[in-house]
Amino acid sequence: MNPAHVVDVTRAQLFAMVRRPAAWTIVAAMIVLNQVFSFLIPYLSYRSSDPSGFDAGSTPAELLEGTLPAQIVTNTLGGFPVFAGALALAFGAVVLGSEYGWGTFKTIVTQRPSRLSVLAGQMLAVVTFLAATVAVLFVLSGATSTAIALAEGESAALPGFGHLAAGYVGGVLVLTAWAGIGAALSVALRSVALPVGLGVVWALGIENLVSAMARTMLSALEPLRDVLPGVNAGSLVAALTPDRIGSPAPGVAETVSGTQAVTTLLVYVVLAAGLAAWFNQRRDVA
């Protein structure tokens, strides 16, 4: 694997990625979900003094406090374990799997870069794009929460730099793990639709089912639950947002420790990259 070739592939992939409607559709979906559920609905509930439709356990004052800049990490990362994670999985599958659907993979690997260089460049481009997306989400959350604070005469003070940095890195790790799973599935199955379908069903359905069963009726499933990607993503977000106000977002729960969550998500990133490389090297280009 030639580092210069990896850099060239990364640049080429980013060039193509920013011109693909699918990439921007996924980013737009993340932004809309974040703004609507973290700010718009809570703020409208506060203004109407009727939180029963959104968070019946919170008072209007708590709803307002939950939209202020001090809660920027909580509001930005709240949807990452489930909804943004599923979108990141789809993004990883789209970026790598589309080369098989378009028939361009065999054209790429018959040129100078090796298969591993191509794969490494594609994965690095995915991580770079997601890191930029997380930064955009933090900036937009800061802008919206600051506007609410100024409109309501509340404090616009942001959390400390350390808290923001930890939240940013944690968010990138969560989305990278999900995107890596999508990328590995797309390389293994050489398609986009099936990996996206399987991943979304897993993220939104099967994980919730396993977690519910382990919590209520079948404790033998707890070891399995504790290594699931969504459970560890939710545990990491919970560890990064100990001062959150009101009910946690779906999927955010302190099931395992923050350290275990980070370790498990890193293992998923490494395993996803390893499996993608294995299938990439051993599959026919046809």
For residue range 226-271, list pLDDT tens digits in order: 889 989 999 999 999 888 887 788 888 888 898 999 999 999 999 9
Domain ranges for the chain? 3-282
Please give the residue that has the higher pLDDT: either 285 or 70: 70
pLDDT for 223 equals 83
Alpha carbon 204 to its chain's center: 13
pLDDT above 80 (res 283):
no
pLDDT for 53 equals 56
Distance between CA 119 and CA 10 in Å, rounded? Answer: 9
Q: What angle (nearest 5°) sits at the alpha carbon of residue 234, between those of residues 232 and 236? A: 70
Query: What mean pLDDT comes out for the span 207-222?
Result: 76
> What confidence tier does 111 reach under pLDDT thresholds 50, 70, 90?
low
pLDDT for 103 equals 60
Distance between CA 63 and CA 58 in Å, rounded? Answer: 6
For 7-50, the DSSP string reads HHHHHHHHHHHTT-HHHHHHHHHHHHHHHIIIIIHHHHHHHHT-
pLDDT for 104 equals 63
Query: What mean pLDDT comes out for the span 116-141?
Result: 92
Residues 6+ apart with CB under 8 A from 253: 231, 234, 235, 238
Instruction: Give the tens place of pLDDT for each residue, 42-86.
Output: 888 888 866 555 565 678 888 888 889 999 999 999 989 988 999
pLDDT for 149 equals 93
- Give me the chain's average pLDDT, please: 85
Distance between CA 220 and CA 97 in Å, rounded? Answer: 36
Amino acid at 30: M
